[in-house]
Structure 1
Amino acid sequence: MALSRPLAAFAAASFALVALSTTAYAGGELKSGDPRATVHDKNVTTCEAAGLPGKTIASGQIKAEADDVYIDVLDHTGITAVVVKGGDAYNVYLASALSEGWTDLHSPLNPNGKPAGISHWFACGELTGEQPPTEEVPPTKEQPPTETVTSTPSSSATTPATSVTTSPAAPAGAEELASTGFGSAWLLGVGAALVAAGAAVLLVLRRRRA
């Protein structure tokens, strides 16, 4: 059944519009979805392949918070550009375009108008800022040499105290008598003789008076 000319013309125009829009999207009519970014088709994994200066800095070396869709770069010291890949294209964020903030970076938009899920991302430049913390083994501290002190027990502490009893010193004369065996015994004999003589004299005198 042949279509009327107006209907046939409408069908041809509709097909041409759909084909044109599909061809335009596939040919590079991509949207970055962010005025700070520039969209590019295909895929890149290095700054050299993206035509950007600087060294390629892996995402693991960058201090950032990221999920499947958005990225917040917390420390961008030394970074000149950020590349975010998703779908069949990638967004390039130059540092000069991020003067107002390095948050909510994402890949180009899908046909539904939402950012595509991030497949990978990296940065370009020279990483000079603080890198994400890594586990480090603390250095072993040298222990100071121990000093061995040998203690010698005091002899006074172990020697029991002894008591010494002293006698008063004897007179010099007594020492001489003790050493000579009382050598003055003859004096006693003389004294006894004198006493006897005196007694005899008294006896004689009594007799005369009588």
Structure 2
Amino acid sequence: MRRRTFRGAVAVMALTTAALIGTAGSALACHSDDNRPHPTPGKATPCAEGTDLSQSDVDFKIVKNRLNISKVHEGVTVKRIVVIGGDDGFNDYTPGARGLDKAAPWNDLRAPFSRNGRQADIEKWYLCGTKTEKPTETTTAPTRPTKPTETTKPSAPASSETVAPTSTTAPAAVPAGNESGTGGGLANTGFDNSWLIWIAALLLVAGGGLLALLKFRRKASE
């Protein structure tokens, strides 16, 4: 019984020692000379749901494996900065904690050391936080006053001057030889009456001939 208990205790100690050695190895594999972040071995954990920010939300530059964030844009709040690089691990920065200023600028942010003890290149970095969208301003053009409707000017009244009618009646022509208004002793009535004179003369001649014929018959009958 004692041997079994001893063997069990040795086994537990061996497992514990291996675990500690493994943890120490991991810790040594992910360390940084910057005391502001949390050097964390393994794959970087993503931002909480709905807290992803874009690199375009800040003004930044990377100079000699150092990330410098000079400005955070309006409406953006940064709550986490993750810098990845090296063999296995990342530096996890929290603004306002462990000596890192709560507001930008944040300079000399870096990845952890590689296993060879050299400063690792920055392979990737990202931000977590919140962002408030700026409401879109709608510009309304000023309304111009409507011009009053122009009333139609009354047309000029027609001229009241009456044009005198032009006379188209020409005076009757006076026949030649009757300029004084008489023709053969008869008044000028506007038409030629000489044919009536000839008819009357013929009737007189015919009447005279008829009377002569009647007288001749009476004498012949006696």
Indicate the TM-score class for this superposition, using the shorter chain for normalisation.
Answer: 0.3 to 0.5
Q: Which has the higher helix share?
A: 1
Higher-Rg structure is 2
Tell me the TM-score normalized by structure 2: 0.41
Name the TM-score, length of structure 1 as normaliser: 0.43
